[in-house]
Amino acid sequence: MVNMDKTQTNIKVVIEKIKEPILAFLAALLISCFIISHTQVPTESMTPTIAPGNHLIVNRLPYYYRDPLRGEVIVFNQGKNHLIKRVIAGPGDTINIVDGTVYLNGSILDETGYLDEENVTFPFSKSPVHFPYTVPEGYYFVLGDNRRNSSDSRVFGPVARTDIIAKAGYRIFPLQSMGSIN
């Protein structure tokens, strides 16, 4: 009887010691899977907005209850990779690229807030997308901000809504560039 009580006491002590770390681990896992997560940007496709090597906190919550908005920087699944690009058009929108300029539904798309003056947009010759292009229901047309060096919807076509997983939220590194992603 004494050995049984001692064994139960030892088990309670062990459980008390590992309970908080396990709960903390499970909470972190749930948060990173369903609410926010960290990503590092490996390429130049989003410069000048996001530079290679930047570390971002991305927010998964918005797209549980709403669709992406034009101009938002999103993270999505492309094959086995996560890519980060800007939403240019949504379902039903018509995109055209003429002489380096993007047209949305017949009007020039104002991209002065995120593109450099010399950053022009051209279609790729081997693209599955032919312009003018109307985005199908359930899809989004995305482009990198570094149009000359970006694999985006001009290369792989529109992105399915079901593949969009997060909104780029906050740059946490490098420290001198810390701030919101617009």
Amino acid 80: pLDDT: 87
Q: So where are the chain's domains?
A: 1-34, 39-180
What's the rounded Cα separation, in Å, for the pair 144 and 111? 12
Amino acid 2: pLDDT: 52
What's the rounded Cα separation, in Å, for the pair 140 and 163? 10
Amino acid 50: pLDDT: 92
Q: Which of 50, 28, 33 is nearest to 173 (CA)?
A: 50
Amino acid 42: pLDDT: 87
- From 37, 45, 150, 153, the catalytic residue: 45
How far does Cα 77 stand from its chain's mean position?
A: 9
What's the rounded Cα separation, in Å, for the pair 91 and 132? 14
* 85 is known as an active-site residue: yes
* 45 is known as an active-site residue: yes
| Each residue's pLDDT tens digit, 16-27 | 888 788 877 777
- From 17, 19, 85, 153, the catalytic residue: 85
Amino acid 63: pLDDT: 94
Residues of the chain falling short of pLDDT 70: 1-5, 31-33
Overall fold of domain 39-180: Umud Fragment, subunit A (2.10.109)
3-state secondary structure of 70: coil
What is the pTM (predicted TM-score) of this model?
0.85
